[in-house]
Structure 1
Amino acid sequence: MLPMALLLICAAHTWAQDAPSSAQELARVLRDKQIITASEYDRILTGGSSGGVEELATILRNKGVITAVEAASLNPNKIGRVTTDPPVKPANSDQESERKLNFYGTLLFNAYLNNSALNNADIPAFALPNTSSAQKNFGATARQTRLGLSYSGLTVAGAKITGTAEADFFGGEPALANGINMDVIRMRLAYGRLDWKRFAIEAGQDWAIFAPLNPTSLAEFAVPEFSTSGNLWIRTPQIRTELKNELGDRRTLLWQMAALDPDIGDNAVAYSTARQPKAGELGGWPAVETRLAFSAPIGQRTATIGVSGHGGPARNMGSINGVPAARSFTSWGVAADYSVPISTLVSISGEAYSGRALGLFSGGIGQTLTPLGQPGDRGVGTRGGWLQIQLNLTKQLQSNSAYGIDSPVLRDLPAGSRSKNQNYMSNIMYHLSPNLTFALEWHRFLTDYRNQPGANHNGDHFNVAAAYTF
C-alpha cells in the first residue's frame, strides 16, 4: 500500500489542474486492482470536480492506504496553497489520527469429493496405503475461514509501529458425536513490527523466512498447497530483522535474519496444555534462518529471486537395547525461491530445497525423525520443490496449474514409511467482485511407500470454494 500512497501524493498537483479526469482515471486503476470496490468507484464518478477527489481520498484513508494527513493534502481546495502561519496543533495530534485498528478476514466455504483414501478429507496431503478401507467420500466445511486484526499506529524513534493477530478454525474438533463442524480456533499470526525506512525488526509468530512462497489456492487455504509434496512452510515464534537496500530503477535487495523457536516438528502427542521439550528444544539453542532476495522490474511488474537457509541444533533422546542414549544432530535446509512475470498474462513461481529433519516445514512428507537405533534417528534427509504457472486470463478470471514433489532419502526411512509424494494441481478462480471469489480445483496425489510396492496409492481430490474477503 505504501507505493500507492506515494503515487497519490505525487499526483496531487495534476489533480489540481484536471481534477475530474485524473481522479476518475486513478479510481479506475484502483478498482481494477481491487483496492476499491465498484460501488466506491461509482461514488467517485458522481462526486464532480472537487468532490471526486475528496471522495477518493476519504475512501483510501478509511481503508488505511493513506493517512489522515495525506488525505487532507489531497483536497483540491488546499493543493498549491501556501500557509505562512499554520494553526497550532496539540502534541501528537497527527499520530493520534494515524492510529488505525482494522478487522479483516476471509469467509470461506469448501465442498469436496475424494475418490479414494487420503490422509485428510478436506485438505489432503498424501494418499494412504492401498490397503486402507476408506472409500469415495464427500463433505463440506467452513473451517478454513480466517479472521484477523491489524494495527498501524504511532511512530517511535522514527519507526512505524504495526501489528497483526490472525486466527482460523483449523485447531481440531471436539470429541462429540456431532462435533465434526464445531471447529476449534487456531492461532496463525501474532506479531508486532517496527519499520524504519530501510530497516525493520519484528517479534512474535509469523511465517518463516525460509522457503517463504506458497502456491495459489482456495481449496487449501488453512494449510498451504503442496504441504508434504514440495512446499516447505510454517508459522512459528521468532525475532526477525530485515534490511532493505534500494538499488535504483525499482531494484531492491532484501536481507532477512531470524532466531526462531527450535521445534523440528516431532510433537506427535495428544491434546495437552502442558508443553514438554522435544528434540529441537533439547538442542539448547534457538534455530536460525536467513534469506537474501533480489527484486527487479519486468515491465510494470516485479520479479523476485531469493535464497534462504535454516539451521538448528537438536538432540534425539531415548534408548537402544534398553540402555538410555542420546544423539545430537542438526536440522538444516537450503532453498531457492522465485516469482517471475513472463508477461501480463503469464507468471511462474516456485521453490526447490534440500535438507534434513525438516518435518516442522512438512518436509520429508511430514517425517522428521525416527526413534534411536532406527534409520533416520539423526533426522530424515529430503529434497523437493514445486512449480506453478499462473494465467491471468482477464481481470476477473485466473487459472493456476502446478506440480510438487517431496522425495526423502531412502536410507533414512524404515520399511513402510512414505518414500515419495507427488501432487498435481489445477484450479480456476473467478472474481465476481473485488470481495467475492469462486474457485474450482483438482488434485492428483501419488504416494509411494518404502519397500511396500503394493501399498503405493494414488487419489483425486475435487474442491469447490466460495470466498468473501473483507
Structure 2
Amino acid sequence: MARTQAQLQESQRQLDAMRAQLAALQSQLSQTTAATTDTTKAIDDLRERQEMQATQIATHDQIKVETASKYPLKITGQLLFNGFVNTRAVDAPSTPTLALPGSGSTGATVRQTVLGFDARGPHILGAQSYADLHVDFAGSPPTSGTSTGISYTGYASNNATLLRLRTAHAGLRWDHTEAYFSLDRPIFSPDSPATLTAVAEPALAWSGNLWTWNPQLGITHDLPFATTHALRLQAALVDVGDAPLPVPSAAAAVPPTLSEQSRWPGVEARIAVLGSTTPDEGSHIGIGGYFAPHRDPLGYRFDSWAGTLDTRLQLPAHFALTGSFYRGQSLGGLGAGAYKDLAYRTSMTTGSYRYRPLSDVGGWAQLQQTVNARLQFNAAFGIDNAFANELRRYASPTGTIYQNLARNRTYTGNVIYSPSAYLVFSLEYRHLISSPISSPATSSNIIGLGAGYRF
C-alpha cells in the first residue's frame, strides 16, 4: 500500500512538471505570435508612411513656387465674402467706421480678400532673413471723388484699380533680436480685436484702435528672465501719414505729408513684459511712446505725440482680456483724433488760417472666450475722443461731420467658427455712435456675415 502511494505521488510530480513545461511552451508560442503581429503592424505602418510621404512630395512638386533666389516662398491669403446690413447711413457700407444721418443699406462684397507671400532667405551675420507682403482689394480708384471709396458696381466697374498694399515686412531675426523695416501698425499698438467682417480697416478703427499702416525702421530685443518670461525692448523711426481730414494747401500739386515736410522722422518706442516664450499666445503688458514733428504747406508747425498702455491677460475658463489705451495730440495719422490732426478756421478780416492741434484720449478692450480650437466668442468696446473744449470754437455749422466730429464709439460682438484649418465663418453685430460737436449724435446698427477660405 505504501509502495502504491509513493508511485502515485511520483506520477503526480511528473504530471505537474509536464503541465509546467506545456505552459512554458504555450507562453513562448504566444510571445512569438505577438511579436510576429507587431512586426507585421510595424511594416504596414511604415508602408503607409512611405505612401503618405510620396503623396506629399508629389503635391509639393505640384504647388512649389520657384523664385529667382531659389529660397522658400509660400503663398498665403484668405478669400473672404462679407454680407452686411446697415440700419442707418455709414461712411463706407461694407467697412463702416462712422455713423451718418440718412437711410441704411444692404449688400455684399469680396473686396476684403487678402493675398500675400512669406519668404525665407539666407542667413546673414548669424541671422535668418525673411520678408512678407500682403495686399487686398479695398483701395479707392482716383476717379471715386470721395475719401470713403466707391460703390461696388460689379464686372464693368473700376475694380481693376482697387488693389491696395496692406502690410510688408523684411528683416533679420536672431535668437533674441530682430532688425527690420516694415509697413504696419505702430509698435506701441500691437494687438487688434478679433473679427472677420472688419479686415480692410481693423475692428474699432477710428474708435480707439491705433491701427494705420506706416513705414517703419526698427529693432526689437528680448531679455529672457524667470525661464518663461522676457522683457521686450522696441524702438523705431516712423513716417506717419496724414489724417483723412486735409489741411489748407498752398500748392495745387500733391504735397509731401505733414510729417515729411517737417524734415524729421517720427520716433516710437515700447517696453513690455511678456508672460510666455511665445508672445503671440501668452499674456503681456507694455507701455509706449510716440513723437513726430509736423509742418503744414503754409508753414505752421505742430507736434504729434502719444503715451500708450497695452495689455493681454490670459484668464481662467479660456477667457482672455485684451486692450490698448492712449493719450496724445494730433493723432489723425495713426487712426485717432476724430479723423484729424488739428482744427482750423479762416480769419474774416485777414483771410489767414488759425490752427489748433487737437488733444485726444481713447482706447479699446475686448473679452474673448475660446471654447475650443474651432469656436470663439468676442465682445469689445472702443472710443476715440477729441477734446470738445478745443474743437468747439473751430466748429463750422456748414462743415462736414469729419470736421466737427468730437467723439466716436463702437460696441461690437461676434462669434467665429472654424470647422477646419481652412474654413472660417462669423456672425457679428456692431453699434456705431458718432457725436459731432454742434449737432446731435448719429448711430447705426450693423449686422455682418463673414465666410472665408484660408490658404
**CA distance, structure 2, for counterparts of residue 110 and residue 138 of structure 1:** 11
Structure 2 counterpart of 1:402, from 369, 380, 387? 380
RMSD over aligned CA atoms reads 3.1
Alpha-carbon offset, residue 142 of structure 1: 0.4
Indicate the residue corresponding to 1:41 in structure 2. Answer: none
TM-score w.r.t. the length of structure 1 is 0.73
* Equivalent position of 1:356 in the other structure: 329
> Are 2:284 and 1:304 aligned?
yes
Among 121, 125, 138, the residue aligned to 2:93: 121
Worse-matched range after superposition: 246-255 or 181-190: 181-190
Find the partner of 1:436 among 423, 434, 441: 423
Question: Out of 205, 210, 223, which is 2:183 matched to?
Answer: 205
Residue 257 of structure 1 is aligned with which of 235, 242, 248? 235
Residue of 45, 48, 51 corresponding to 1:48:
45
Structure 2 gaps, min length 5? 1-41, 61-68, 145-152, 248-252, 348-352, 397-403
Q: Deviations over 1:139-158 (max 9, x none)?
A: 11000000001111210110
The one-letter amino acid paired with 2:431 is R
Task: Summarize the alignment of residues 377-456 of structure 1 with structure 2, pairs less than 5 Å apart.
Answer: 377-413=355-391, 414-415=394-395, 417-453=404-440, 456=441
**Match among 140, 155, 165 for residue 187 of structure 1:** 165
String of CA shifts for 1:128-167, please: whole Å, max 9, x gaps: 1xxx3x3121111000000001111210110111001111
- Percent identical across equivalent pairs? 29
How big is each residue's C-alpha offset from its partner over 1:387-415, in whole Å with a ceiling of 9 and x where there is no partner?
A: 10101123311110011111111133232
DSSP-derived class of the 1:365 partner: helix
Does residue 170 of the first structure (1) align with residue 138 of the second (2)? yes
Confirm or deny that 1:468 pairs with 2:425. Answer: no
CA contact (8 A) 1:292 1:307 kept: yes
| Equivalent position of 1:196 in the other structure | 174
Among 115, 134, 138, the alignment partner of 1:147 is 115
CA distance in 2, matches of 1:47, 1:268: 70
Deviation at 1:58, TM superposition (A): 10
CA deviation after TM superposition for structure 1 residue 266, in Å: 5.4
Summarize the Cα distance change of 1:242–1:119 in structure 2 as closer, same or farther, 3 Å threshold. Answer: same
> Aligned partners of 1:147 and 1:458: how far apart in 2?
33
Mean CA deviation greater in 422-431 or 169-178: 169-178
- Could you say which residue in structure 2 is the equivalent of 1:282? 261
- Contact (CA 8 Å) 1:369, 1:376: kept in 2 or not? no
TM-superposed deviation, 1:51: 6.0
Secondary structure (helix, strand or coil) at the match of 2:380 reads: strand
Counterpart CA distance in 2 for 1:58 and 1:198 is 37
Deviation, 1:263, is 3.0
Per-residue deviation, 1:172: 1.4
Please say if 1:342 is aligned against 2:329: no
What SS class does the counterpart of residue 83 from structure 2 fall into? strand
Which consecutive unaligned segments of at least 5 residues does structure 1 have? 1-44, 64-95, 319-325
* CA pair 298-343 structure 1, distance change in 2 beyond 3 A: farther
The 3 A distance-change label for structure 1 pair 462 and 275 is same
Give the residue type in structure 1 aligned to 2:105. Answer: N
Distance 2:186 2:419 in 1: 33
Deviation of 1:183 (Å): 5.8
Measure how far apart 1:369 and its partner are.
2.1
